[in-house]
Chain A
């Protein structure tokens, strides 16, 4: 089945303002030419080696994430409203983390069940009573957002540990600039290319008290078999820092060093892309070889900064997620600018009963899951799948949450059959250091299968370039080519509208 959804380009046969230029271009460009460009984009990505590694599932372990050449476009005003909400949310998440590892006021005030936090696997007692350099916990946050109408954005989930995907945002833009210089120049697209600089500034700004001189930054990767390894290298390259693996580092007298050809060199800030569990075998999993023995002691001694802070995952736990609006009210005394998707906690008896009765229209997710694994999309499920999930929920209710199936917005996408609407989400990246920074845009993920709502790259999703337009075309619909003039006039009022109208009248390519 297909979910009736808000299409970001066309509504009721009319083209929305930000998409006017693209709609004209799509109508005027023969399909074969688009196919050709898509093929070139694929070659480009293959040549650069932008891959997403999926091991243990058979097939080619180094897969190319499909890249769709039709951009997803947001007007400046739309973006500004969204980004204000994102910044607000990330500020609250950081305050929440400082609080739960500090005085735990929000728990004592009863706004969040204390057990939900303290008994959570993502909660790190090792962090209690310790304040990271600069007081920042989630330096790089990826907030997944979906849209259901022109003015409704919903936060689907918060990623406060080690969100990935920013390299696709940057490489996607590069590919577009190279393949479509003309159509790019016809828009004033807000740049994203400075993200690595902003990231470096953010990381340097949280250098620990023990740092002398210019902070030396490194990215800690689990290695080349990690799915996001390309991204780790890409970011290190763009920032001009080393990408290190655990064995490249060692700790002496609570100071972290990396092994170099010129002997040991001190490291001040580590952007770690390995999970908490593997950071330091002396504190977390003793059998792990990915991390660095003694790293946590160096951290606590104020000799190194870790981004993101260990334990930041408690803020993005799916069971904690329903309380984020509450955090915003509690810490900032503001009303949330972005809405949460209503969420049922299967652990709560009343919620569970509702979930079990309504599986066919809910999305069920694992509380600690990621990557779209272990999900049930109710409307697309079979009776057997629903029965299986019902049994799982009853067996371990605490591990599941459920949300209504949202009619995610769609964006025109080049697929086998031509150009067709496909569901999208958006992951903007919010950087918190001395200040909070957001580059305009983010990673748009697109579900390439017809009707599918699952956009994860591990589930066959693709990506699109996300454009935030500096010019602010009024969000008023314009006629699609071939529409009658009377209809379009009734929809449009401004002078610029009539101009685009006359152009579209002239160039009928349909």
Chain B
């Protein structure tokens, strides 16, 4: 496969996943903002900016930290490369560049998302309409993921889309946790507010119900961290994402006559560390430190994949 094709497929996967994650993040922040007092509200929005990696860009714009401004920046701002609209645009651009490598269902999912998104107006992002837009975005991501899971040949093209999806997802989970690490690390039992926080974390990875299935116990910060980091049953946990990343890279290596590079070693290392970690040790060491290291290693891995397969 052309390196450029592989690169576009990989970024297609990443951008679709990012658009969906941003929509989830916004949904949760909106909920937090409408349930908490004015003081907490700004914290919620700031946390979301940090989690999406958009905080520096937002600060550069010089706009006051208000719900309206943050929503606009994360949902619609064309100057923000990670805004939902920018992600849709970039996903479609990458998809169009490799139109022939996609199945019809995948292309239609991306293309239709893009043409519907282009019909959005100021009103689409107004407070009363925003929940609809975010639901729609989540659905479109699920549709795309379903299209490629259900229709794509399990070949190289599929592996690169999956690699992009999983790397983006692992990164998102780490960032979501990191933004809330205070709420998870403070040992003192939180009140209703802490509970809201914990719920928010779980909701942003669609895992509130899954928590009850796994633990059958009340929300507890240590379990939440464990679940999002180490429980392989949860498709959005870091360990589950890394298992897929390693497996996908192995598949690529096998298809290329066993050629392996630093990206294979690094993915294996990150996966192994997650797989054999204990939550007590992580909490003891400090959740924030642990997550910062994981986020940095994810960035390294992205660069190594680029160097080995995408020649970027």
Contact = CB atoms under 8 A, between A and B. Distances in A.
B306 to A, nearest CB: 12
Interface in B97-125: 97, 99-100, 104, 107-108, 111-112, 115
A507 B110 CA distance: 47
A259 B99 contact: no
A47 B100 contact: no
A234 B1 CA distance: 17
Given A49-B107, A242-B2, A261 B99 contact: no
Given A47-B108, A261-B1, A243 B252 contact: no
Contacts of A248: 2-4
B223 interface: no
B309 interface: yes
Contact of B99 (A47, A49, A245, A262): A49
A45 to B, nearest CB: 12
Contact of A49 (B3, B5, B111, B255): B111
A503 to B, nearest CB: 40
Interface in B1-53: 1-6
A51 B169 CA distance: 33
B213 interface: no
Interface residues of A, number: 21
Contacts of B297: none
Contact of B4 (A234, A236, A259): A259
A242 B99 CA distance: 11
A260 B311 CA distance: 9
Interface string A36-49: 00000000001111
B218 interface: no
B232 interface: no
Contact of B6 (A48, A233, A261): A261
Interface string A283-294: 000000000000
A355 to B, nearest CB: 44
B309 A243 contact: no
A292 B12 CA distance: 27
Nearest to B257: A262
Contacts of B156: 261
Contact of B252 (A234, A259, A261): A261
B5, B99, B104: residue with the most chain A Cβ atoms closer than 10 Å: B99
B96 interface: yes
A450 interface: no
A237 B100 contact: yes
B100 A233 contact: yes
Interface in B239-265: 252, 255-257, 259
Nearest to A247: B4
A258 interface: yes
A105 B96 CA distance: 47
B100 A261 contact: no
A224 interface: yes
A447 interface: no
Nearest to B159: A261
Contacts of A49: 96, 99, 107, 111
Interface string B184-220: 0000000000000000000000000000000000000
Contacts of B115: 46
- Main SS class of interface, B: helix
Contacts of B309: 261
A397 to B, nearest CB: 43
B95 to A, nearest CB: 10
B153 to A, nearest CB: 13
Contacts of A166: none
A262 B257 CA distance: 9
A128 to B, nearest CB: 34
A260 B99 contact: no
Contacts of A245: 4
Contact of B311 (A48, A242, A259): A259
A247 B312 CA distance: 12
A160 B271 CA distance: 56
A244 interface: yes
B9 to A, nearest CB: 10
Given A49-B107, A247-B4, A261 B112 contact: no
Nearest to A258: B2
A260 B97 contact: no
A244 B310 CA distance: 15
A230 B100 CA distance: 10
Nearest to A223: B97
A236 B5 CA distance: 13
A230 B108 CA distance: 15
Interface string A230-254: 1001101100001111011000000
Contact of A236 (B97, B100, B107, B256): B100
Given A47-B108, A49-B111, A260 B2 contact: yes
Given A49-B99, A236-B100, A261 B3 contact: yes
Contact of A243 (B3, B6, B100, B311): B100
B96 A224 contact: yes
A234 B96 CA distance: 12
A166 to B, nearest CB: 16
B8 to A, nearest CB: 10
A419 to B, nearest CB: 30
A262 B100 contact: no
B2 A259 contact: yes
Contacts of B108: 47
Nearest to B96: A224
Nearest to A238: B100
27 contacts: A47-B112, A49-B107, A224-B96, A224-B97, A230-B99, A233-B100, A234-B100, A237-B99, A237-B100, A242-B5, A243-B100, A244-B2, A245-B4, A247-B4, A248-B2, A248-B4, A259-B2, A259-B3, A259-B311, A260-B2, A260-B3, A261-B1, A261-B156, A261-B252, A261-B256, A262-B256, A262-B259
Nearest 5 pairs between A and B by C-beta?
Answer: A237-B100, A259-B3, A233-B99, A262-B256, A261-B6
Given A247-B4, A258-B2, A262-B257, 6 more contacts: A47-B111, A49-B107, A224-B93, A237-B100, A242-B5, A248-B4
